Structure 1
């Protein structure tokens, strides 16, 4: 065993003994490394071979123009011809170029109908260049489309399951252009926290420096950490990243409450605290019921049946609801227990949390989605 491997093993055992297993995370799970990223690709193409479920050429002029251009490039002259096919559809093709993808490797492609095509089932995508944000072509897509839905149509009913106007081609795009990024030859690299926090950035830098034994990591801001390759390090930047990405660090979480008023979902961080406050939640129930009475005329009388409206309104106030006292600086568990003791639902709890915040008794940030 080499000296560096022995140091890594001892340091990993110390981290496991000191840090709680339930709260520590690996560095690779909480940061992004500079340059190691995906790139989005997009292209415009044609799908052929559809069984009458393609675009209406009169309603989708771009499909007609694309079809004419494709046939003319293949030496077919259709000038002045009235095209009326329903077996062609214009589509948008998207793909994700993974980091360090080499020329000749294959990636998945997603196809989505652009016109009024009813389904892409059975279709084949023609050769489609996929471009990046810089306008350069990085991949070429082509092949039969696999869709996850279908449409069955009869004389009086139509059944549609899933989305038949969108599909995928597994390994349907070939990478033609590589992104030049030499990670191994870099001497400095930035680490970006996925959840920016000053304390977490400092903890990561300290953990890395303790492992290497030199100040090679420096926190720059809540998001970034600069990593410098040591002069006498036995390896390159890839070796250094491999050594540090498995280290465990305990992220520091801000006191935050996230509220989704549409669905009534409430998520609270463990650092949420509430000062001493008394809460009362009223429960007013108003019930309105209609019991119309029917009035019938006497036998052989010259009259009509009439309905007389009768409305009953009942107002009920739950007098058993009393003030609930939350002691000062209570943790999250006691806060949830105190709110549940009031017997309130999620939507009433949202109003209560906002009222506590307005009273200045909630030491947390409320984010409404």
Structure 2
């Protein structure tokens, strides 16, 4: 599959090109137990039995793991994203995934699970009924059917924020805008666009990724200023010339700024086909007696019979002129009926010959 990527000049908003340094979400993770399953739990898993024993002991009961059965329970990992500026009492969605041998979480309930950040502090508590989009069934003869992923579920608004993450949005004198894709020209254009709207020396480009912006110190004014700032429009510079190849799917994306210097390409293929066959001959011995001749079957003989044929398609050649454009490059490659693997080979050869004016990226 060949995809053409063209980048016409148009205005974009700053909110679509950059983010504010320090204003980001934070991943949370926790370990918990899901109960109420219909016989699709972990069974006699030691990890799940110990978890159930620990939970029950917190309720003032004394129980041994030998007295428990985790057929209807499952040990799970719970993950969530704590949004920037999230406050105590706000809710967030959580994702629940099995870590044991549970077959399905359908119909289960997540028990109260603390969610921790990278610093080990607890920032949210999760609990609630799971929504599972997958389905898994099995028969007594070992046959089974699985639709989607029944071992992963979600609890919409199942988490509650317990602790706020301090953001540096109000602490620093300047706001730092980080481009989603570093580019010196775009950083310079962004600073220029901001200064044209808010006045000179408000924004200063720091490097290819960051732009520093002087902002009001008072919180209300800074929020209003940021709302105006992120809607400032500018025309980003065209990206660097790249050819991106997905080796797994065969997709090739050629950027609009790709150029080719004068080069000649010859493209053809040779197909060799080998057929293996054998001829079996039945041996026989003639024995002459008083009553006539008798044919006695002998040992069979196998004779290999191989045939080799070769077919070579006509070689196709095409020439690239100096500074050929993207459309001409694609038309020339499509004219010879190149497959994705052939296209990759042609592009790699052009790069090795120094004729491809682009970075070749294989993902």
Q: 1:217 aligns with which of 178, 200, 203?
A: 203
Residue matched to 2:122: 137
Aligned to 2:265: 279
Tell me how far apart the structure 1 counterparts of residues 22 and 13 of structure 2 sit (CA, whole Å).
19
Does 2:34 correspond to 1:24?
no
1:36 is aligned to 23
CA contact (8 A) 1:140 1:174 kept: yes
| Residues 1-369 of structure 1: pairs in structure 2 closer than 5 A | 23-57=10-44, 60-79=45-64, 81-156=66-141, 157-181=143-167, 183=169, 186-229=172-215, 236-246=221-231, 247-290=233-276, 292=278, 302=297, 308-318=303-313, 320-369=314-363
Q: Is the 8 A contact 1:216 1:230 kept in 2?
A: no
**Cα distance in 2 for residues equivalent to 1:192 and 1:306:** 79
Secondary structure, aligned partner of 1:257: strand
Q: Which has the higher strand share?
A: 2
Partners of 2:246 and 2:229 in 1: CA distance: 37
8 Å contact from structure 1 (residues 184, 238) kept in 2? no
Question: C-alpha distance in 2, partners of 1:291/1:90?
Answer: 58
Give unpaired runs (5+ residues) of structure 1.
Answer: 1-19
Please give the per-residue CA displacement for 1:63-116, whole angstroms capped at 9, x wherever unaligned. 122111111111111147443341121110000111111211111010011111
Listed one character per residue, the Cα deviations across residues 127-167 of structure 1 (whole Å, up to 9, x for unaligned) are 00111111111111001111111122222222221211110
Separation (CA, whole Å) in 1 of partners of 2:165 and 2:318: 61
Instruction: Give 5+ residue unaligned stretches, structure 2.
Output: 1-6, 285-293
* Distance in 1 between residues matched to 2:109 and 2:11, nearest whole Å: 48
Residues 1:316 and 1:68: Cα distance change in structure 2 (over 3 Å): same
Distance 1:75 1:357, change over 3 A: same
Q: Distance in 2 between matches of 1:103 and 1:324?
A: 66
> How far, CA to CA, are the matches of 1:332 and 1:273 in structure 2?
7
Is this contact kept in 2: 1:185–1:236, CA < 8 A?
no
Q: In structure 2, do the counterparts of structure 1 residues 26 and 296 end up closer, same or farther at CA, with 3 Å as the change threshold?
A: farther
Q: CA RMSD in A?
A: 2.5
Larger Rg: 2
Q: Count matched residues.
A: 345
Distance 1:230-1:90 versus aligned 2 partners, 3 A rule = closer
TM-score by length of 2: 0.87
Alignment partners' CA distance in 2, 1:29 and 1:307: 74
Deviation readout 1:320-356 (Å, 9 max, x if unpaired): 4243110111121111112222322111111111111
Q: Work out the CA distance in 2 between the residues paired with 1:322 and 1:345.
A: 14
Q: Contact 2:22–2:168 at 8 Å: present in 1 too?
A: no
